[in-house]
Protein backbone atom coordinates (compact mmCIF):
# COMPACT_ATOMS: atom_id res chain seq x y z
CA UNK A 1 0.00 0.00 0.00
CA UNK A 2 1.29 3.45 -0.94
CA UNK A 3 0.96 6.28 1.62
CA UNK A 4 -0.10 9.60 0.15
CA UNK A 5 0.89 12.93 1.76
CA UNK A 6 -2.66 13.38 2.99
CA UNK A 7 -2.63 9.98 4.68
CA UNK A 8 0.67 10.82 6.38
CA UNK A 9 -0.83 14.07 7.71
CA UNK A 10 -3.84 12.20 9.10
CA UNK A 11 -1.52 9.75 10.89
CA UNK A 12 0.58 12.55 12.36
CA UNK A 13 -2.57 14.35 13.51
CA UNK A 14 -3.93 11.19 15.13
CA UNK A 15 -0.65 10.54 16.91
CA UNK A 16 -0.56 14.12 18.13
CA UNK A 17 -4.14 13.84 19.34
CA UNK A 18 -3.27 10.66 21.22
CA UNK A 19 -0.26 12.28 22.87
CA UNK A 20 -2.37 15.30 23.74
CA UNK A 21 -5.03 13.10 25.36
CA UNK A 22 -2.37 11.31 27.37
CA UNK A 23 -0.95 14.63 28.46
CA UNK A 24 -4.34 15.94 29.56
CA UNK A 25 -4.97 12.73 31.51
CA UNK A 26 -1.58 13.00 33.20
CA UNK A 27 -2.18 16.62 34.12
CA UNK A 28 -5.67 15.80 35.43
CA UNK A 29 -4.23 12.98 37.50
CA UNK A 30 -1.51 15.23 38.87
CA UNK A 31 -4.07 17.90 39.76
CA UNK A 32 -6.60 15.49 41.36
CA UNK A 33 -6.90 16.25 45.08
CA UNK A 34 -5.14 13.79 47.36
CA UNK A 35 -7.52 11.69 49.45
CA UNK A 36 -8.00 12.37 53.14
CA UNK A 37 -6.96 9.13 54.81
CA UNK A 38 -8.54 8.00 58.07
CA UNK A 39 -8.05 4.71 59.88
CA UNK A 40 -9.92 2.41 62.22
CA UNK A 41 -7.60 0.16 64.23
CA UNK A 42 -9.10 -2.50 66.44
CA UNK A 43 -8.70 -5.96 67.91
CA UNK A 44 -10.64 -7.44 65.02
CA UNK A 45 -9.55 -10.94 66.02
CA UNK A 46 -9.34 -12.74 69.36
CA UNK A 47 -11.20 -11.96 72.57
CA UNK A 48 -12.76 -8.73 71.26
CA UNK A 49 -13.36 -9.86 67.67
CA UNK A 50 -17.14 -10.09 67.94
CA UNK A 51 -17.38 -6.68 69.65
CA UNK A 52 -15.42 -4.85 66.97
CA UNK A 53 -16.99 -6.44 63.89
CA UNK A 54 -18.89 -3.75 62.00
CA UNK A 55 -16.72 -0.75 62.86
CA UNK A 56 -15.46 -0.36 59.28
CA UNK A 57 -19.07 -0.32 58.06
CA UNK A 58 -19.95 2.29 60.70
CA UNK A 59 -17.10 4.47 59.45
CA UNK A 60 -18.40 4.06 55.90
CA UNK A 61 -21.79 5.43 57.01
CA UNK A 62 -20.11 8.54 58.42
CA UNK A 63 -18.24 9.08 55.14
CA UNK A 64 -21.50 8.70 53.23
CA UNK A 65 -23.16 11.29 55.48
CA UNK A 66 -20.67 13.99 54.43
CA UNK A 67 -21.07 13.11 50.75
CA UNK A 68 -17.88 11.06 50.47
CA UNK A 69 -15.66 14.16 50.37
CA UNK A 70 -14.35 16.98 52.54
CA UNK A 71 -12.69 20.11 51.18
CA UNK A 72 -13.18 18.62 47.72
CA UNK A 73 -11.02 15.61 48.64
CA UNK A 74 -12.20 12.00 48.51
CA UNK A 75 -12.04 10.13 51.82
CA UNK A 76 -10.10 6.88 52.03
CA UNK A 77 -10.62 4.40 54.90
CA UNK A 78 -7.83 2.15 56.17
CA UNK A 79 -8.35 -0.64 58.71
CA UNK A 80 -6.00 -2.87 60.68
CA UNK A 81 -6.05 -5.49 63.44
CA UNK A 82 -3.78 -4.65 66.38
CA UNK A 83 -4.34 -8.16 67.82
CA UNK A 84 -4.69 -6.59 71.32
CA UNK A 85 -0.89 -6.16 71.35
CA UNK A 86 0.53 -2.71 72.22
CA UNK A 87 3.67 -3.17 70.09
CA UNK A 88 1.60 -4.17 67.06
CA UNK A 89 -0.72 -1.19 67.52
CA UNK A 90 2.17 1.24 67.89
CA UNK A 91 3.84 -0.16 64.76
CA UNK A 92 0.66 0.20 62.70
CA UNK A 93 0.15 3.77 63.92
CA UNK A 94 3.71 4.74 63.05
CA UNK A 95 3.40 3.27 59.55
CA UNK A 96 0.02 4.88 58.96
CA UNK A 97 1.28 8.31 59.97
CA UNK A 98 4.75 8.14 58.37
CA UNK A 99 4.13 6.13 55.20
CA UNK A 100 0.42 6.12 54.40
CA UNK A 101 -0.39 9.70 55.38
CA UNK A 102 -3.27 8.85 57.72
CA UNK A 103 -4.59 11.93 59.51
CA UNK A 104 -6.85 10.38 62.16
CA UNK A 105 -7.11 7.00 63.89
CA UNK A 106 -10.20 5.82 65.75
CA UNK A 107 -11.30 2.55 67.36
CA UNK A 108 -8.31 1.53 69.50
CA UNK A 109 -10.04 -0.90 71.83
CA UNK A 110 -7.83 -2.41 74.57
CA UNK A 111 -6.39 0.19 76.91
CA UNK A 112 -2.80 -1.03 76.70
CA UNK A 113 -2.91 -0.61 72.91
CA UNK A 114 -4.67 2.76 73.18
CA UNK A 115 -2.01 4.10 75.54
CA UNK A 116 0.77 2.90 73.22
CA UNK A 117 -0.86 4.49 70.16
CA UNK A 118 -1.49 7.68 72.14
CA UNK A 119 2.28 8.07 72.59
CA UNK A 120 2.89 7.70 68.83
CA UNK A 121 0.08 10.15 68.01
CA UNK A 122 1.50 12.72 70.41
CA UNK A 123 4.98 12.26 68.96
CA UNK A 124 3.64 12.82 65.43
CA UNK A 125 1.17 15.56 66.37
CA UNK A 126 -1.74 13.52 64.97
CA UNK A 127 -5.32 12.93 66.06
CA UNK A 128 -6.41 9.74 67.83
CA UNK A 129 -10.04 9.40 68.85
CA UNK A 130 -10.49 6.51 71.20
CA UNK A 131 -13.84 4.76 70.97
CA UNK A 132 -12.95 1.31 72.29
CA UNK A 133 -10.58 1.50 75.26
CA UNK A 134 -11.93 2.32 78.71
CA UNK A 135 -9.07 3.57 80.87
CA UNK A 136 -9.86 7.05 82.18
CA UNK A 137 -6.10 7.69 82.16
CA UNK A 138 -6.56 8.64 78.49
CA UNK A 139 -8.01 11.94 79.70
CA UNK A 140 -5.87 11.99 82.83
CA UNK A 141 -2.09 11.49 83.01
CA UNK A 142 -2.03 10.25 79.38
CA UNK A 143 -4.21 13.01 77.90
CA UNK A 144 -3.22 14.64 74.62
CA UNK A 145 -3.89 17.99 72.98
CA UNK A 146 -4.77 16.08 69.79
CA UNK A 147 -6.51 13.12 71.44
CA UNK A 148 -10.11 12.37 72.38
CA UNK A 149 -11.97 9.74 74.40
CA UNK A 150 -15.41 9.26 72.90
CA UNK A 151 -17.73 6.50 74.11
CA UNK A 152 -17.23 5.67 77.81
CA UNK A 153 -14.47 5.34 80.39
CA UNK A 154 -13.77 3.49 83.62
CA UNK A 155 -14.81 6.47 85.75
CA UNK A 156 -18.27 6.70 84.13
CA UNK A 157 -18.80 2.93 84.22
CA UNK A 158 -17.86 2.88 87.89
CA UNK A 159 -20.06 5.80 88.85
CA UNK A 160 -23.15 4.76 86.91
CA UNK A 161 -23.16 0.97 87.43
CA UNK A 162 -21.22 0.89 90.70
CA UNK A 163 -23.31 3.58 92.38
CA UNK A 164 -26.55 1.90 91.30
CA UNK A 165 -25.47 -1.45 92.74
CA UNK A 166 -24.39 0.04 96.08
CA UNK A 167 -27.63 2.03 96.38
CA UNK A 168 -29.54 -1.20 95.79
CA UNK A 169 -27.83 -2.79 98.81
CA UNK A 170 -24.72 -4.22 97.20
CA UNK A 171 -22.28 -2.89 99.81
CA UNK A 172 -19.67 -5.67 99.77
CA UNK A 173 -17.67 -6.49 96.65
CA UNK A 174 -15.21 -9.00 95.23
CA UNK A 175 -13.55 -8.27 91.88
CA UNK A 176 -12.82 -10.57 88.96
CA UNK A 177 -10.39 -8.44 86.98
CA UNK A 178 -8.71 -8.70 83.57
CA UNK A 179 -5.00 -8.41 84.27
CA UNK A 180 -4.02 -5.44 82.13
CA UNK A 181 -4.43 -1.64 82.07
CA UNK A 182 -8.21 -1.61 81.44
CA UNK A 183 -9.09 -4.09 84.19
CA UNK A 184 -6.81 -2.43 86.71
CA UNK A 185 -8.29 1.02 85.99
CA UNK A 186 -11.88 -0.25 86.18
CA UNK A 187 -11.29 -2.05 89.49
CA UNK A 188 -9.58 1.07 90.87
CA UNK A 189 -12.44 3.38 89.87
CA UNK A 190 -15.23 1.09 91.10
CA UNK A 191 -13.40 0.51 94.39
CA UNK A 192 -13.34 4.26 94.96
CA UNK A 193 -17.09 4.50 94.32
CA UNK A 194 -17.92 1.57 96.62
CA UNK A 195 -15.80 2.91 99.49
CA UNK A 196 -17.10 6.46 99.07
CA UNK A 197 -20.63 5.09 99.45
CA UNK A 198 -19.72 3.28 102.68
CA UNK A 199 -19.26 -0.14 101.13
CA UNK A 200 -16.39 -2.63 101.48
CA UNK A 201 -14.15 -4.48 99.04
CA UNK A 202 -13.51 -7.95 100.44
CA UNK A 203 -10.95 -8.98 97.85
CA UNK A 204 -10.30 -9.72 94.23
CA UNK A 205 -8.47 -11.91 91.77
CA UNK A 206 -6.88 -11.10 88.41
CA UNK A 207 -7.13 -13.34 85.37
CA UNK A 208 -5.20 -13.33 82.07
CA UNK A 209 -6.79 -11.87 78.95
CA UNK A 210 -8.65 -14.54 76.93
CA UNK A 211 -9.20 -16.90 79.87
CA UNK A 212 -11.28 -19.96 79.03
CA UNK A 213 -11.67 -21.56 82.47
CA UNK A 214 -12.82 -19.24 85.26
CA UNK A 215 -13.54 -21.99 87.81
CA UNK A 216 -10.69 -21.23 90.24
CA UNK A 217 -11.42 -17.49 90.13
CA UNK A 218 -15.15 -17.98 90.63
CA UNK A 219 -14.59 -20.33 93.58
CA UNK A 220 -12.59 -17.57 95.30
CA UNK A 221 -15.35 -15.06 94.56
CA UNK A 222 -17.97 -17.47 95.91
CA UNK A 223 -15.96 -18.14 99.06
CA UNK A 224 -15.63 -14.40 99.76
CA UNK A 225 -19.40 -14.22 100.42
CA UNK A 226 -19.39 -10.72 98.92
CA UNK A 227 -22.84 -9.53 97.90
CA UNK A 228 -21.53 -8.31 94.53
CA UNK A 229 -18.99 -9.93 92.22
CA UNK A 230 -17.69 -7.13 90.03
CA UNK A 231 -16.62 -8.26 86.57
CA UNK A 232 -13.83 -5.86 85.58
CA UNK A 233 -13.34 -7.49 82.19
CA UNK A 234 -14.92 -7.36 78.73
CA UNK A 235 -15.82 -9.24 75.58
CA UNK A 236 -15.45 -13.00 75.58
CA UNK A 237 -13.95 -12.89 79.08
CA UNK A 238 -17.18 -11.36 80.42
CA UNK A 239 -19.30 -13.86 78.50
CA UNK A 240 -17.29 -16.83 79.79
CA UNK A 241 -17.28 -15.61 83.40
CA UNK A 242 -21.06 -15.01 83.44
CA UNK A 243 -21.82 -18.38 81.83
CA UNK A 244 -19.57 -20.24 84.25
CA UNK A 245 -20.93 -18.30 87.24
CA UNK A 246 -24.32 -19.67 86.24
CA UNK A 247 -22.93 -23.19 86.15
CA UNK A 248 -21.56 -22.71 89.68
CA UNK A 249 -24.95 -21.49 90.91
CA UNK A 250 -23.47 -18.23 92.16
CA UNK A 251 -26.52 -16.07 91.50
CA UNK A 252 -28.90 -18.76 92.79
CA UNK A 253 -26.77 -18.81 95.94
CA UNK A 254 -27.58 -15.15 96.63
CA UNK A 255 -24.60 -13.30 95.18
CA UNK A 256 -25.10 -10.81 92.32
CA UNK A 257 -22.95 -10.15 89.28
CA UNK A 258 -22.07 -6.60 88.23
CA UNK A 259 -21.17 -6.43 84.55
CA UNK A 260 -18.95 -3.38 84.59
CA UNK A 261 -18.42 -3.28 80.82
CA UNK A 262 -21.10 -5.18 78.93
CA UNK A 263 -22.25 -4.66 75.34
CA UNK A 264 -25.52 -5.49 73.60
CA UNK A 265 -23.67 -8.07 71.50
CA UNK A 266 -22.48 -9.78 74.72
CA UNK A 267 -26.05 -10.03 75.97
CA UNK A 268 -27.16 -11.62 72.71
CA UNK A 269 -24.32 -14.13 72.95
CA UNK A 270 -25.26 -14.97 76.54
CA UNK A 271 -29.02 -15.13 75.73
CA UNK A 272 -31.69 -13.61 77.96
CA UNK A 273 -32.22 -16.69 80.19
CA UNK A 274 -28.57 -16.36 81.27
CA UNK A 275 -28.18 -12.55 81.27
CA UNK A 276 -31.63 -11.50 82.55
CA UNK A 277 -31.53 -9.01 85.41
CA UNK A 278 -27.96 -7.90 84.72
CA UNK A 279 -27.52 -4.16 85.34
CA UNK A 280 -25.08 -2.36 83.05
CA UNK A 281 -24.10 0.99 81.55
CA UNK A 282 -23.99 1.90 77.86
CA UNK A 283 -23.85 5.10 75.84
CA UNK A 284 -26.01 3.82 72.96
CA UNK A 285 -28.86 1.40 72.37
CA UNK A 286 -30.45 0.74 69.02
CA UNK A 287 -34.04 1.01 70.32
CA UNK A 288 -33.84 4.29 72.26
CA UNK A 289 -35.86 6.36 69.77
CA UNK A 290 -36.91 6.71 66.12
CA UNK A 291 -33.52 8.13 65.12
CA UNK A 292 -31.54 5.24 66.62
CA UNK A 293 -33.89 2.74 64.99
CA UNK A 294 -33.53 4.40 61.57
CA UNK A 295 -29.73 4.51 61.85
CA UNK A 296 -29.66 0.85 62.90
CA UNK A 297 -31.63 -0.06 59.77
CA UNK A 298 -28.99 1.70 57.61
CA UNK A 299 -26.17 0.03 59.52
CA UNK A 300 -27.69 -3.45 59.24
CA UNK A 301 -27.96 -3.05 55.49
CA UNK A 302 -24.16 -3.05 55.54
CA UNK A 303 -23.51 -5.37 58.50
CA UNK A 304 -26.29 -7.66 59.63
CA UNK A 305 -25.70 -7.63 63.35
CA UNK A 306 -26.90 -5.55 66.27
CA UNK A 307 -24.87 -2.34 66.57
CA UNK A 308 -23.19 -1.67 69.89
CA UNK A 309 -21.90 1.53 71.45
CA UNK A 310 -18.54 0.67 69.85
CA UNK A 311 -19.87 0.70 66.30
CA UNK A 312 -22.02 3.76 66.98
CA UNK A 313 -18.97 5.41 68.54
CA UNK A 314 -16.83 4.92 65.44
CA UNK A 315 -19.63 6.46 63.36
CA UNK A 316 -20.03 9.42 65.72
CA UNK A 317 -16.31 10.15 66.15
CA UNK A 318 -15.64 9.92 62.42
CA UNK A 319 -18.59 12.13 61.51
CA UNK A 320 -17.58 14.84 63.99
CA UNK A 321 -13.97 14.71 62.80
CA UNK A 322 -14.97 15.09 59.14
CA UNK A 323 -17.30 17.99 59.95
CA UNK A 324 -14.46 19.66 61.85
CA UNK A 325 -12.05 19.25 58.91
CA UNK A 326 -14.60 20.94 56.65
CA UNK A 327 -15.19 23.75 59.15
CA UNK A 328 -11.46 24.28 59.75
CA UNK A 329 -10.68 24.34 56.01
CA UNK A 330 -7.63 22.16 56.65
CA UNK A 331 -6.59 18.74 57.92
CA UNK A 332 -4.01 20.26 60.29
CA UNK A 333 -4.43 18.34 63.54
CA UNK A 334 -4.43 21.28 65.97
CA UNK A 335 -6.80 23.34 63.82
CA UNK A 336 -9.18 20.40 63.42
CA UNK A 337 -9.09 19.55 67.13
CA UNK A 338 -9.87 23.17 67.98
CA UNK A 339 -12.98 22.94 65.79
CA UNK A 340 -13.94 19.59 67.33
CA UNK A 341 -13.91 21.24 70.76
CA UNK A 342 -15.71 24.34 69.52
CA UNK A 343 -18.55 22.52 67.73
CA UNK A 344 -21.21 20.66 69.77
CA UNK A 345 -21.51 16.95 69.01
CA UNK A 346 -24.94 16.16 67.59
CA UNK A 347 -25.67 12.84 65.92
CA UNK A 348 -27.62 9.63 66.41
CA UNK A 349 -25.55 8.75 69.49
CA UNK A 350 -24.94 12.08 71.19
CA UNK A 351 -27.01 15.22 71.67
CA UNK A 352 -25.28 18.49 72.54
CA UNK A 353 -22.12 16.69 73.56
CA UNK A 354 -19.08 18.76 74.52
CA UNK A 355 -15.49 17.76 73.84
CA UNK A 356 -13.49 19.09 76.80
CA UNK A 357 -9.92 20.33 76.66
CA UNK A 358 -8.68 17.08 78.24
CA UNK A 359 -10.25 15.15 75.34
CA UNK A 360 -13.25 13.77 77.22
CA UNK A 361 -16.53 13.83 75.29
CA UNK A 362 -19.14 14.68 77.90
CA UNK A 363 -22.48 13.15 77.01
CA UNK A 364 -25.37 11.28 78.64
CA UNK A 365 -24.92 7.68 79.78
CA UNK A 366 -27.69 5.11 80.22
CA UNK A 367 -28.26 2.59 82.98
CA UNK A 368 -30.00 -0.50 81.60
CA UNK A 369 -31.25 -3.80 82.92
CA UNK A 370 -31.37 -6.90 80.75
CA UNK A 371 -34.95 -8.01 80.14
CA UNK A 372 -36.30 -11.43 81.02
CA UNK A 373 -37.38 -13.69 78.15
CA UNK A 374 -41.00 -12.94 79.09
CA UNK A 375 -40.45 -9.16 78.80
CA UNK A 376 -38.70 -9.33 75.43
CA UNK A 377 -40.72 -8.92 72.23
CA UNK A 378 -37.94 -9.96 69.81
CA UNK A 379 -34.37 -11.27 69.82
CA UNK A 380 -33.07 -7.68 69.63
CA UNK A 381 -35.36 -6.40 72.41
CA UNK A 382 -32.91 -6.89 75.28
CA UNK A 383 -32.79 -3.79 77.52
CA UNK A 384 -35.10 -1.73 79.67
CA UNK A 385 -33.92 1.76 80.54
CA UNK A 386 -33.54 2.38 84.28
CA UNK A 387 -31.99 5.84 84.22
CA UNK A 388 -30.43 8.49 81.99
CA UNK A 389 -27.38 9.99 83.70
CA UNK A 390 -26.31 13.46 82.49
CA UNK A 391 -22.72 13.67 81.30
CA UNK A 392 -21.66 16.15 83.98
CA UNK A 393 -22.67 13.57 86.59
CA UNK A 394 -21.32 10.51 84.80
CA UNK A 395 -17.81 11.73 83.97
CA UNK A 396 -14.91 12.80 86.14
CA UNK A 397 -14.70 16.56 86.78
CA UNK A 398 -12.04 18.20 84.62
CA UNK A 399 -9.97 19.42 87.57
CA UNK A 400 -9.70 15.91 89.07
CA UNK A 401 -8.18 14.20 86.03
CA UNK A 402 -4.57 15.38 86.41
CA UNK A 403 -4.26 16.05 82.68
CA UNK A 404 -0.85 17.80 82.43
CA UNK A 405 -1.91 20.63 80.12
CA UNK A 406 -5.23 21.47 81.84
CA UNK A 407 -4.76 24.54 84.01
CA UNK A 408 -6.57 25.26 87.23
Contact residues for 210 (Cβ-Cβ < 8 A; gap 6+):
46, 47, 236, 237
Q: Provide the number of structural domains found in the chain.
A: 2
293 has pLDDT over 70: yes
The domain in which residue 189 lies consists of 155-287+366-391
Same-domain pairing of 185 and 278 = yes
Residue 7 lies in a domain: no
Element (H, E) at 231: strand 228-232
CATH number at residue 228: 3.40.50.2300
Same-domain pairing of 277 and 188 = yes
Residue 396: the pLDDT is 97
Confidence of residue 214 (pLDDT cuts 50, 70, 90): very high
207 has pLDDT over 50: yes
CA angle 402, 407, 408 (to 5 degrees): 90
Distance of CA 45 to the CA centre of its chain: 15
Residue 397 lies in a domain: no
Same-domain pairing of 229 and 342 = no
Same-domain pairing of 248 and 382 = yes
Residue 143 lies in a domain: yes
Same-domain pairing of 250 and 187 = yes
Same-domain pairing of 78 and 178 = no
Same-domain pairing of 263 and 371 = yes
Same-domain pairing of 315 and 374 = no
Report the pLDDT averaged over residues 230-247.
Answer: 94
pLDDT in tens, 2-61: 445 444 444 444 444 454 544 544 444 557 899 999 999 999 998 888 889 999 999 999
Report the pLDDT averaged over residues 68-90.
Answer: 97
Confidence of residue 165 (pLDDT cuts 50, 70, 90): very high
Residue 5: the pLDDT is 46
Same-domain pairing of 297 and 376 = no
Residue 2 lies in a domain: no
First to last CA, the chain: 91
Task: Print burial letters for 138-165: b (CB count within 10 Å at least 16), e (below 16).
Answer: bbbebbbbbbbbbbbbbbbbbbbbbbbb
Residue 20 lies in a domain: no
Q: Are 122 and 146 in contact (CB under 8 A)?
A: yes
CA distance 259 to 129: 25
Residue 137: the pLDDT is 96
Residue 47: the pLDDT is 86
Q: Which strands, in side-by-side order, build the sheet including 127-130?
A: 69-70, 73-81, 36-42, 102-107, 127-130, 147-149
Residue 8 lies in a domain: no
Residue 203 lies in a domain: yes
Residue 6 lies in a domain: no
Confidence of residue 308 (pLDDT cuts 50, 70, 90): very high
Question: pTM, whole model, 2 decimals?
Answer: 0.89
pLDDT in tens, 109-152: 999 999 999 999 999 999 999 999 999 999 999 999 999 999 99
Amino acid sequence: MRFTPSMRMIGIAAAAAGLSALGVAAIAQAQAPAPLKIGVMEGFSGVYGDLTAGEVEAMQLAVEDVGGKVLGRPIEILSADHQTKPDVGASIARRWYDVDGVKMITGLGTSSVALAVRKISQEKGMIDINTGAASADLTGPSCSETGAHWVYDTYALAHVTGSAMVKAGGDSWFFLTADYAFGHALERDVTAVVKAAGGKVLGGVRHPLSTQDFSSFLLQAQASQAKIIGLANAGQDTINSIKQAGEFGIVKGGQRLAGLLVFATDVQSLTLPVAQGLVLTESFYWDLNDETRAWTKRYRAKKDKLPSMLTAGVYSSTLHYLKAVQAAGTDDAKAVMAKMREMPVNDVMTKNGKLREDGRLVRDMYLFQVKSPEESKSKDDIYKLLATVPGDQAYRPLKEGKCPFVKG
